[in-house]
Amino acid sequence: MCTILFAYKVHRKYPFIFLGNRDEFKNRETKPSHFWQDNPKVLAGIDLLKGGTWTGITKGGKIAFITNYRDFRVEKKSPLSRGDLVRQYLIGSENPKEYLELVRNEGKKHNLFNLVVGDQKSFYYYSNVTDKIIEIQRGIHGLSNALLNTPWPKVVRGKEALSTIINGEFTVDQLFEILADQTIPPDRDLPDTGTTLEIERMLSTIHIDTPSYGTRVKTVILIDQKGEVQFYEKFLSKDNFWELREYKFIMDSEGG
């Protein structure tokens, strides 16, 4: 499961601020974010099990990220990689809305998901739960394993923290602190996703940590008014050490 927070056209210096945790089984092989050898404009990690990715950006300013929609009552039957939906957008030529129209035609073939894709002009959201393509408006948004801006406690808490921090001068470390939050909300506020109360509690925090499952990648992306990208990633290594990676580049004006 995952938690994503982003501020779009809110901050005067950074029109796009992204914070994201990728939660996954700890034995699932994953490659940290890097510029791909076969597509050198793409900066993203790789899920080595199925070849997709969860969050990525290109030198042309294309951005995409995905979360699973959590409902344990729905049978998981699709062998298709949801992470490939992010990958195909990043390496493709379609604009955000065009791409989601293509995804919509095939959306029901995948297990449930939320997908956000954007470029230097616009951002769009699609979930195969509702089968609707929605343009992202100015504001602070949160996405976990329900629909965009569903008020799960960790989404509400994260959005409030992000709003407070970016209201003034802030540091990247402060953004990572939001992603490290392990506050467990009251049971009465937990969602019902068809599992036990114990598991709902375990999955209720922004940062998840259990022996076999938890937050494995933390990502912060800042894009300023001039198109300069700052990309920071904390990656949990096999020896349980957080490795920091940092990339900076100027987006190509022509996009892509």
Residue in 215, 236, 151, 184 with CA at minimum distance from that of residue 19: 215
Indicate the number of domains in the chain: 1
Q: Is the pLDDT of residue 25 over 90?
A: yes
For residue 143, give the CATH number of its domain.
Answer: 3.60.60.10
pLDDT tens digits, 218-231: 999 999 999 999 99
Angle at 72 between CA 68 and CA 73, to 5 degrees: 125
CB count in 10 Å sphere of residue 3: 29
Q: What is the mean pLDDT of residues 94-105?
A: 97
Domain that holds residue 30: 2-250
Whether residue 232 lies inside any domain: the answer is yes
Whether residue 256 lies inside any domain: the answer is no
Whether residue 227 lies inside any domain: the answer is yes
pTM of the model as a whole: 0.96
pLDDT tens digits, 209-220: 999 999 999 999
Per-residue pLDDT band for 74 (boundaries 50, 70, 90) equals confident
Whether residue 160 lies inside any domain: the answer is yes
Whether residue 255 lies inside any domain: the answer is no
DSSP states along 26-51: TTS-EEEEEE-SSSTTEEEEEETTTS
Whether residue 12 lies inside any domain: the answer is yes
Which tokens belong to 203?
């999955």
Per-residue DSSP letter, 111: P
Q: Are 206 and 195 in contact (CB under 8 A)?
A: no
Distance CA 178, CA 5 (A): 10
pLDDT tens digits, 129-165: 999 999 999 999 999 999 999 999 999 999 999 999 9
What's the chain's average pLDDT? Answer: 96
Which tokens belong to 97?
């809305």
* Alpha-carbon distance values, 251 to 1, 41, 186, 228 (Å): 30, 10, 43, 6
Whether residue 171 lies inside any domain: the answer is yes
Whether residue 122 lies inside any domain: the answer is yes
